[in-house]
Amino acid sequence: MKRGRTGLKSSCQAFPSQERAKRQKRGASSFAEDWGNLPHHVVLQIFQHLSLVDRARASSVCRRWNDVFHTPDLWRKFEFELNQPATSYLRSTHPDLIQQIIKKHAQHLQYVSFKVDSCIESAEAACDILSQLVNCTIKTLGLISTARPSFMDVSQAHFVSALTVVFVNSKSLSSIKIDDTPVDDPSLKVLVANNSDTLKLLKMSSCPHVSPAGILCVADQCHGLRELALNYHLLSDELLLALSSEKHVHLEHLRIDVASENPGQTHFHTIKRSSWEALVRHSPKVNIVMYFFLYEEEFEPFFREETPVTHLYFGRAVSKEMLGRIGLNCPRLVELVVCANGLEPLDEELIRIAERCKSLTAIGLGECEVTCSGFVEFVKMCGGRLTQLSIMEEVLIPDSSYNMEQIHSEVSKHLGRMWFPDMMPTW
Amino acid sequence: LVLLLFCELVARVPWASPTPRAGDMVVNTIHWFRKGLRLHDNPSLRDSIQGADTLRCIYILDPWFAGSSNVGINRWRFLLHCLEDLDASLRKLNSRLFVIRGQPTDVFPRLFKEWHITRLSYEYDSEPFGKERDAAIQKLAKEAAVEVMVRISHTLYDLDKIIELNGGQSPLTYKRFQALINHMDAVELPVETITSEFIKKCATPISEDHDEKFGVPSLEELGFETEGLITAVWPGGETEALMRLERHLERKAWVANFERPRMNANSLLASPTGLSPYLRFGCLSCRLFYFKLTDLYRKVKKNSTPPLSLYGQLLWREFFYTTATNNPCFDKIEGNPVCVQIPWDRNPEALAKWAEGRTGFPWIDAIMTQLRQEGWIHHLARHAVACFLTRGDLWISWEEGMKVFEELLLDADWSVNAGSWMWLSCSSFFQQFFHCYCPVGFGRRTDPNSDYIRRYLPILRGFPAKYIYDPWNAPEEVQKAAKCIIGVHYPRPMVNHAEASRINIERMKQIYQQLSCYRGLGLLATVPANPNNGASGSNVAGVSTGTSQGPGGFSEDQSIQEGTSRTGTQARWLTLLLFKMYNAIKILTCY
């Protein structure tokens, strides 16, 4: 093996040829000494290119390398993977490694995430680790369920106490991702009390124990908040106004999930047009992303007036009438994705959307129907601004003007690039 | 005259094989049926018979049934029908089918010796397991000085040629595949059916105890319980297959419409013109089907060139065979280069509910019931249950679903089954995952009358169409009137679909964002750009509207330790491959 001087920094090229010759005479053992004597920052740089497993192996080679292995710089980011063989195909971070990190590197951790499977033990293990991160300056924290949300199975008290350890001790949290967890209003208060100056991103979709007042507290105090993700029941006029107050920075991204348990059981309040307007006035470039998982009859309160939404996703069937309203009232629309509509052609609605949503660049249609002529008309009006056009093949209905073979060339012409509908195996 | 007769009789002695005498080039041949269970368009059989003195057509009942021990009663029954049909057809040619139990590597050396075999023929099997098995047999044949004849007739094309045309790689998208097909030479014509005229010089030594030793077994003999088994909705065999082909073409001609048929409630039921199981077992030649379709189209549409979409069903099958042939891990997630590593949940209880039709969603349960009872479901029904099991609701691995289909579905062979499952669970490249099939709404829209549900789930017959797709929402009086209380006579829904789909779409989005390194907010752009679309690779480079990248902004993988997560390494590998592919395809002509 060639001596690894190629690729290392110039600072270690200094061996004079005489010495090299002498070393070559002395034999292999002296090479090991030299490897062990590489400068600290050189080994560090090499280690930064290695995977954790390889790095761990390398750390057992000699004391120097072991020291480098434990350099704080290598422990800024860590992702704890907590899985049980009964519920997941993925491996878990080794418990010994976890212990080592808690013992030696807790204070170095800055970007931490926990990936847990659907088993309650994994979520509890994550909480245990969290409770031990006392002397930390964590900036980014993510609690991610890779399958069913197991954090929701953990006792609320246990979860909240673990989470508040980090909230209280870090004091410089900037990004927090706690979707599908039993976080509650008091813990948000603790978060705010300790991190209001630094908090920039908060994702907490589907946290059923939080109330609108709880999230309002965050918006009122954390004026640096740029990204927020929550469920519709937490959205209020007060919240939008708080996010638009003078002291507040420009909001970049607001993500709202609208999901219903059973048809007719949830009542959805309306947000005043003036609140939306205030938000857009304050943050003209804000992106508002809304994901809907409702029954068709539950859409009544939405899009009756102008709404500044930019990205819309309908995870279940949405009515023709509703799509018509969207064309009328969503001038800022950038992306529209519809899972299903039914068996009535959506030509008119699409054309209206092409006319009035001048920023639309992406559209996806699932179980819907559009005549080929209507679709061509739509594409003509949008032209090349459509960078994403994902239409299931079954959506397009051939008519007298176009059949399936002609449609793709016609659409490709207007888009200025090769286009095909999305296909599904017909076997 | 008596002497002549006597000689004739001796020559046709049913038990003895002509032994090779010095100077005599006697050709004793075995034709090995695996798939290709037919006498029409069977080039390997035809070539085998040419110049042969004796012929024995065998079928080896490998206890592992071509690589899987997971075969349900309907598939066995279909296979046995096919074998019986073959035997009957061979009888008309003064021959018989020899069914032999055992493993091919044990069986062949014995047969080569016993029957003094000099030639072996079989239809080419493109699947990795098949290729391995056949390589072993070829070696044994070589050692026994047996000539091996292999011909391609299970696929329209020579798959290796398609791969060669694509620079040595299997095509990864269906569009790419279609583009390659357009550049291939024409499909070869099907060869003529074996007739008694053709086979007259070739004898089959048949012993008196042939039925005992080599007869087609019955289901009971194989250990199945047949009491209460309904008559096969899909009877197997070449005869049935050819009859169905005629009916299929008749119907097409009558409708004079070659567009993709619109889905309606009737399409869900087994059709007397359905052909997919027959194509899978090889009772029907795909090439015959191809040419008959072409002829019919030309006749009806006055000689115009048929579009590729006419052969949709056949080409999808061909596509999956092509992507699978060089990938022994095609039916797995781990180690499979074309499969996205998604962290599926492990949940045997939930899986069992799905497999046995006890999910509490009548649409899903009816489909799984039809599948179990009859062995076939419409392709949109397959999409519905596959989506429900994987990315839609249960978040269980597609490998599990594939195994259930393998057991129950008549037309599921290794390549097509695995390929379809990967596609439907959005585990293969370039699939948009936003489209979720609602287990309530999709059924309702497809069959508003709900005849399908009533037929396969008689317990729910009393429900009105308004409530039958989501019976848990029906008021108590309605349930009482229907004599079916949800939670007692029929299970409650096993998931909350809205919640499940909300979580799952988020998961898929996170996974694909890592793969494509996309940092924007769009849902559609998270899927890496399909090179065939010619869409800009800008998505892959991460440029888009509304990027949330302020200082301290939380990008999905910022806190991921390099190399710890399997998705991390996978992401790097995939992104690299995507770039390579995209550039390679830019050079080759697009469709």
Q: What is the pLDDT of residue B589?
A: 38
Q: What is the pLDDT of residue B40?
A: 96
Supply the mean pLDDT for chain A: 88
**Which residue of chain A is at minimal alpha-carbon distance from B554?**
A175
Q: What is the pLDDT of residue B583?
A: 47
Residue of B220 and B6 predicted with greater confidence: B220
**Is B316 annotated among the ligand-binding residues?**
yes
**Is B363 annotated among the ligand-binding residues?**
no
Min CA distance, A105 vs chain B (Å)? 14
Q: What is the pLDDT of residue A73?
A: 83
* Contact between chains at B535 and A417 (C-beta distance less than 8 A): yes
Taking only Cα atoms into account, the Rg of chain B, rounded to an integer number of angstroms, comes to 27
Res B134 pLDDT > 90: yes
Q: How far is CA A58 from CA A100, A350, B565, in A?
A: 16, 60, 19
Dihedral sign for Cα B468, B469, B472, B473, please: negative
Instruction: For residue range B317-375, list pLDDT tens digits in order.
Output: 999 999 999 999 999 999 999 999 999 999 999 999 999 999 999 999 999 999 999 99
**Which residue of chain A is at minimal alpha-carbon distance from B413?**
A427
Min CA distance, B309 vs chain A (Å)? 8
Res B530 pLDDT > 60: no
Q: How far is CA A152 from CA A120, A155, A207, A209, A414, in A?
A: 9, 8, 9, 10, 49
Chain B residues within 8 A of A337 when measuring between CB atoms: 434, 523-524
Q: What is the pLDDT of residue A43?
A: 85
> Rounded mean pLDDT of B399-421?
95
**Which residue of chain B is at minimal alpha-carbon distance from A403?**
B259
The residues, any chain, with a CB within 8 Å of residue A14's CB and separated by 6 or more, are none
Residue of A266 and B537 predicted with greater confidence: A266
**Which residue of chain A is at minimal alpha-carbon distance from B176?**
A420
The band of B69, judged by pLDDT with boundaries at 50, 70 and 90, is low
* Contact between chains at A387 and B316 (C-beta distance less than 8 A): no
Q: How do the domains of chain B map onto residue ranges?
A: 24-154, 155-193+239-326, 348-497
Instruction: For residue range B161-196, list pLDDT tens digits in order.
Output: 999 999 999 998 888 898 999 899 999 999 999 999
* CATH of the domain spanning B348-497, picked from 2.40.340.10, 2.115.10.20, 3.30.70.270, 1.10.579.10: 1.10.579.10
For an interface test with A, give the residue of B155, B502, B544 to mutate (most A CBs within 10 A).
B502
**Is B314 annotated among the ligand-binding residues?**
yes
Q: In order of start, what are the domains of chain A with their CATH numbers?
A: 39-74 (1.20.1280.50), 303-426 (3.80.10)
Res B150 pLDDT > 80: yes
* Contact between chains at A111 and B558 (C-beta distance less than 8 A): yes
Q: What is the pLDDT of residue A141?
A: 95
Q: What is the pLDDT of residue A17?
A: 55
Structure tokens at A342: 């039914």
Q: What is the pLDDT of residue B531?
A: 53
Min CA distance, B530 vs chain A (Å)? 10
- Cα distance between residue B516 and residue B480, in whole Å: 52
Supply the mean pLDDT for chain B: 84
Instruction: For residue range B4-57, list pLDDT tens digits in order.
Output: 555 555 555 444 445 544 446 899 999 999 999 999 999 999 999 999 999 999
Res A21 pLDDT > 60: no
**Which residue of chain A is at minimal alpha-carbon distance from B546?**
A287
For an interface test with A, give the residue of B318, B347, B561 to mutate (most A CBs within 10 A).
B561
Q: What is the pLDDT of residue B306?
A: 84
Q: What is the pLDDT of residue A51?
A: 80
Q: Is B315:B286 a contact under the CB 8 Å cutoff? A: no
Instruction: For residue range B100-122, list pLDDT tens digits in order.
Output: 999 999 999 999 999 999 999 99
Q: What is the pLDDT of residue B237?
A: 95
* Contact between chains at B438 and A417 (C-beta distance less than 8 A): no
Min CA distance, A157 vs chain B (Å)? 24
**Is B365 annotated among the ligand-binding residues?**
no
The band of A45, judged by pLDDT with boundaries at 50, 70 and 90, is confident
* Contact between chains at B347 and A366 (C-beta distance less than 8 A): no
Res A5 pLDDT > 70: no
The band of B465, judged by pLDDT with boundaries at 50, 70 and 90, is very high
Share of chain B above pLDDT 70, in %: 83
Chain A residues within 8 A of B309 when measuring between CB atoms: 404-405
Instruction: For residue range A318-331, list pLDDT tens digits in order.
Output: 899 999 999 999 99
> Rounded mean pLDDT of B273-281?
95
Q: What is the pLDDT of residue B261?
A: 67
Min CA distance, B14 vs chain A (Å)? 45
pTM of the model: 0.85
Min CA distance, B342 vs chain A (Å)? 9
* Contact between chains at A90 and B263 (C-beta distance less than 8 A): no
Please list the residues that pair with A203 across neighbouring strands: A177, A229
> Rounded mean pLDDT of B227-242?
93
For an interface test with B, give the residue of A151, A403, A426 to mutate (most B CBs within 10 A).
A426
Q: What is the CATH number of domain B155-193+239-326?
A: 1.25.40.80
* Contact between chains at B445 and A366 (C-beta distance less than 8 A): no
Res B578 pLDDT > 60: no
Residue type, B281: F
Q: How far is CA B486 from CA B455, B458, B478, in A?
A: 19, 14, 11
Q: What is the pLDDT of residue A32?
A: 58
Res B556 pLDDT > 50: no
Q: What is the pLDDT of residue B564?
A: 33
For domain B24-154, the CATH superfamily is HUPs (3.40.50.620)
Dihedral sign for Cα B525, B526, B527, B532, please: positive
> Rounded mean pLDDT of A414-427?
87
Share of chain A above pLDDT 70, in %: 92
**Which residue of chain A is at minimal alpha-carbon distance from B422?**
A425
* Contact between chains at B502 and A362 (C-beta distance less than 8 A): no
Q: What is the pLDDT of residue B541?
A: 27
> Rounded mean pLDDT of A264-286?
91
